[in-house]
Structure 1
Amino acid sequence: MTTLSRGLALGALAAALTVTLPAWSPAGAAGPQPPRTGFETSNGARWTTQPEEQDFLAAVDRASDRVRTERIGTTAQGRPLRLVRIGAPAPAGADRVRRGNAVLLICSQHGDEPSGREACLSTVRDLAFTRDRATRRFLEHTSVLVVPTANPDGRAADTRGNSDGVDVNRDHLALKTAEARAMAAVQRDHRPDIVYDLHEYGPTAPYYVKDVLSLWPRNPNTAHAVHRESVTLSEKYVRPGAAAAGFSTGVYGIWTDPETGEPVKQVAGDGQERILRNTAGVKNSVGLLVETRVDALTDAEKADPALNNRRRVTSQLAGLKSLFEYAGERRARIESATTRARLAGYADRGPVYLGGADNEPPAPGKVLGDPPCAYRLDARQYTDVKDELALHGVSLRRDGKGGAVVPLRQPMRALVPLLLDGRAEYHLTAATPLKGC
């Protein structure tokens, strides 16, 4: 396809985002239109404001018995962090958290990457009001959890980091930010089978210019079956789905030769356990990071930023469509993989890796071939990290001396050394390893 014809195709695809929504009413008769985002009402000329988001979600919540919106935290600047729960019948109340069979969407962790947020907001609305039988059957078996704005302060300032300048997507282990703490609590309480993280990126021509990039958990502590399902989501669903919608695709962090398509070098995408897609894998969820291209691709997009914005959101929607197809078609395999990964921790067998990635062997000294059976926290250490351990869902037992013992025999087995072993790069504290428990 030539550059001109490709640009026209993308423009036509982007225009599809603005089609008129079908009328909806609870009784199925003539009634009010479903709510629209600020992005939609402006035809992509601007992003949805946070007051508009609040009004939009409140309207969806009031009108649909499939949706519940709740506040899960507050940012340093006082903005709410919200979780939207979608299911049919209505999701369980806060006192009866529904576990498993869940897809979690984390939208716009980086505040200057807004297209994922817009795609998430319109997806909430479309799932809330759909009459499609297949989608309604899907929602009977799978809860869709959405954090529509994972970094509200950064979105307000149009900055990558939060109001303290912290990159939230490097805080999923230490949990120093309100944003990461809220997301950790959602993962702990709902134990999602899939965590899908929506981002945007700036290309580097000619080696890194794909419209949609994706990457699974590379951390080697990810259970084999969970890792396999994550790769399947990327390579068999999201990338082919985006390609079918007219977008070029690639693997995040891998530069490729423009002539041969062969890898040139890896510039990002390692196994750092503090990054959400890797944290999700270590916590036994299928994980995927999706990055969509931000720069204008055609003269028309350069002349009309709204056209560029619509194309960016449409590329995110193409990935989400493929995600839901994957979740529906492979539900049994996904649940089997995540359940087996959680139960495997009770067996307390096998190495734990303090470094490396699925495409990079860990450095010498970064493999615990015979891990300790537990870690002991003294009273000071326990006081320092008890809240973070609780947010991560790590089990422990108090020792009667103000401290605690954290066994490896638990679903979060691989996470425990990453948090408490002094040799781990991002450990919270250097606890005492125990043998012979």
Structure 2
Amino acid sequence: MTLHSRRLVLGTVALGLTVSLGATLPAPPAGATASRIPRTGFESSQGARWTSQPEEQRFLAAVDRATPRVRIDRIGTTGQGRPLQLVRIGAPAPQRAAAVRRGASVLLICSQHGDEPAGREACLTTIRDLAYAKDRATRRFLERTSVLVVPTANPDGRAADTRTNADGADINRDHLGLRTVEARAMAAVLRDYRPDTVYDLHEYGPTAPYYSKDLLSLWPRNLNTGDAVHREAGALSKDFVEPAVQRAGFSTGVYGIWTDPETGEPVKQVAGDGQERILRNTAGVKGSVGLLVENRVDALTAAERADPALNNRRRVRSQLAALKGAFPFLDRHRTRIEAATSAARRAGYADRGPVYLGGADNEPPTVGQVLADPPCAYRLDAAQFARIEDVLALHGVRWWRGPDGSAVVPLRQSLRGLIPLLLDQRAGYHLAVAAPLDVCPAVKGGKGLGKYVP
């Protein structure tokens, strides 16, 4: 069986819907023919090459024209002029952010690292197959679920086959500072659409024999992630993604942890900490169920070494197998997901409990990394506020303005756990050294936004 045949190799969502690379391609809509169903460059070349940026644009435009299930927005432009795009999928596609299904929305972020293309190919064909699927289960799924996709999160890096963007920045280390246009675009999507689940697709190079599973996954480890959100992220990984990947014949493990090949016991942690600037952790701090998924890149057999297309197809198949687990999680856990994310986003208004400046779910914080009794607010002077106002706005942080151009950022708001990470001197990646206030000033004006009296 080859990619060129009409039975491509996948079958993604265990909902009756078929998603490329392995089941029969979905039936075309009324008036269309099988020959008009758009295909990626990867599919057309049978995996011999990755889909180019012009091919991606033609592919997405064709899918957009074919059905009201899909809407495409331009959410930014890279340093080299390439579009950053958000694909909205539903039955019908949500026309605005407020129309996204609460508790049943997922954001797929594909290929933040430009030299990790397999996740992007899985995302592109998933967009197409959700758009064209005719079975009842998929239609019902899309009536109840909003699927958001950033198909190429780093277009300049993908064009150059580099991990970083055109400026040499690692986008997945910029979800706090938002210095890159790519991270800024994603922050705006997180702020405006408030996806309940954020699913981040990557690839990794193995270290045999300790770190060599076909697909690895990891939830938010940051300790400012709400307990229920953390539990749901663990369930997504362990109860849905891992079993689906194993059923497809692939091995699985936890990202960042070397394991003894004989006992399976952890040996060493080499990555996957609680850094707040990494997307899966940023998502958790902001109240979303985050998951990082990484497939293995190296050729596994003599046949794959002789024919890179075989290796490429296996890489994409493993990502699609993981998605085959993720979509049923959204369907079956929607009530639990909504309860978890809603509670996490409301918790900040109570303004109670510690905020953590370090540590992780598998690494206790030091005493100096715990704000056991956080301040009421942080004060930015006029120069500090002018410098980071746009970053605070992109995150969705709220503030009170002073008559002298300064600002006070209260902790009593949805993003309470994020604010000290941005403004406290002791935070590892703070953007400004703001003055902590034990007593909040009097405020004049509307809810959350207003003026304070010095």
> Structures share a fold, TM > 0.5?
yes
Specify which of 123, 126, 130 is matched with residue 129 of structure 2.
Answer: 126
* Structure 2 residue 10 is matched with structure 1 residue 35: no
Structure 2 counterparts to residues 414-433 of structure 1, below 5 A: 414-433=417-436
Whichever residue aligns with residue 335 of structure 2, its letter is A
What TM-score results when the alignment is normalised by the length of structure 1? Answer: 0.94
1:127-146 aligned within 5 A: 127-146=130-149
Superposed CA offset, 1:21-64 (max 9, x none): 2441236x756532110000111010000000000000000111
Equivalences for residues 78-117 of structure 1 within 5 A: 78-93=81-96, 98=100, 100=102, 101-117=104-120
Would you say 1:261 and 2:267 are equivalent positions? no
Q: 1:298 and 2:301 equivalent?
A: yes
Identity %: 73
* Contact 1:192/1:285 (8 A) holds in 2: yes
- Inter-partner Cα distance in structure 2 for 1:143 and 1:347: 29
Displacement of 1:134 in angstroms is 1.3
Alignment check: 8 A CA contact 1:23 1:33 kept: no
| SS at 2:365 equivalent | coil
User: Is this contact kept in 2: 1:302–1:308, CA < 8 A?
Assistant: yes
**Residues 401/117 of structure 1: CA separation in 2 closer, same or farther (3 Å cut):** same
Alpha-carbon distance between aligned partners in 1 of 2:376 and 2:352, rounded to the nearest angstrom: 10
SS at match of 1:84: strand
Following the alignment from structure 1 to structure 2, what is the Cα–Cα distance between the partners of residues 343 and 330?
A: 20
Q: Which runs of 5+ in 1 are unaligned?
A: 1-11
Q: Which residue of 2 aligns with 1:355?
A: 358
More displaced stretch, 81-90 vs 168-177: 81-90
Q: Matches of residues 405-416 of structure 1 in structure 2 within 5 Å?
A: 405-416=408-419
Q: Distance in 2 between matches of 1:315 and 1:184?
A: 28
Contact 2:176 2:276 in 1 (8 A): yes
**Inter-partner Cα distance in structure 2 for 1:268 and 1:248:** 19
Instruction: Report the CA distance between 1:336 and its aligned residue.
Output: 0.4
Q: Provide, for residues 186-241 of structure 1, a one-character-per-residue CA deviation record: whole Å limited to 9, x for no partner.
A: 00000000000000000000000000000000000000000000011001111111
Matches of 1:304 and 1:391, distance apart in 2: 45
Determine the C-alpha separation between the residues in 2 that align with 1:197 and 1:164: 22
- After superposition, the Cα gap between the structure-2 partners of 1:23 and 1:389, relative to the gap in structure 1 and judged at 3 Å, is same
Distance, in Å, in 2 between the alignment partners of 1:38 and 1:153 is 18
Structure 2: tracts of 5 or more residues without a match:
1-7, 12-19, 441-454
Contact 1:25-1:31 within 8 A present in 2 as well: no
- Residue 168 of structure 2: aligned partner: 165
1:159-238 matches, within 5 Å, as: 159-238=162-241
Amino acid at match of 1:98: V
Give me the whole-angstrom Cα distance separating, in 1, the residues matched to 2:353 and 2:101: 27
1:332–1:22 CA distance, 2 compared to 1 (3 A) = closer
Provide the C-alpha distance between the structure 2 equivalents of 1:362 and 1:249, rounded to a whole number of angstroms: 28
**Aligned equivalent of 1:69:** 72
Question: Match of 1:318, as an amino acid?
Answer: A
Q: How far apart are the structure 2 equivalents of 1:355 and 1:423?
A: 9
Deviation at 1:102, TM superposition (A): 1.1
> C-alpha separation between the residues in 1 aligned to 2:160 and 2:47?
19
How far 1:149 sits from its partner (Å)?
0.3
3-state SS, counterpart of residue 17 of structure 1: coil
The aligned amino acid for 1:115 is: A
- 2-structure distance, mates of 1:164, 1:371: 37
After TM superposition, what 4+ stretches of structure 1 lie above 4 angstroms from structure 2? 12-16, 29-32
Whether the aligned pair in 2 keeps the contact of 1:21 and 1:33 (CA below 8 Å) is no
Alpha-carbon shift at residue 19 of structure 1 (Å)? 5.8
1:220/1:358 contact within 8 Å kept: yes
1:326 and 1:353 map into 2 onto residues whose CA distance is: 29
User: Where does residue 147 of structure 1 map in the other structure?
Assistant: 150
For the pair 1:319 / 2:329, whether they are aligned, the reply is no
- The 1-side partners of 2:231 and 2:96 are apart by 33
Write the distance in 2 (CA, Å) between the matches of 1:35 and 1:393: 37
- Structure 2: distance between partners of 1:19 and 1:285: 31
Which amino acid in structure 2 is aligned with residue 58 of structure 1? A
**Partner residue of 1:51 out of 54, 57, 62:** 54
- Higher mean alpha-carbon deviation, 403-412 vs 99-108, is at 99-108
Equivalents in 2 of 1:116, 1:188: separation in Å? Answer: 24
Shift of 1:13: 6.3
> TM-score scaled by structure 2?
0.91
Pick from 3, 19, 24: which aligns with 2:28?
24
Q: Distance in 2 between matches of 1:167 and 1:314?
A: 26
Answering whether residue 242 of structure 2 is matched by residue 239 of structure 1, we say yes
Q: CA deviation at 1:329?
A: 0.5
Q: Tell me how far 1:429 sits from its aligned partner.
A: 0.2
One-letter amino acid matched to 2:363: E
Matched letter for residue 348 of structure 1? D
Secondary structure in 1 matching 2:38? coil
Query: Is residue 14–residue 310 contact of structure 1 (8 Å, CA) maintained in 2?
Result: no
Q: Is the Cα contact below 8 Å between 2:215 and 2:296 reproduced in 1?
A: yes
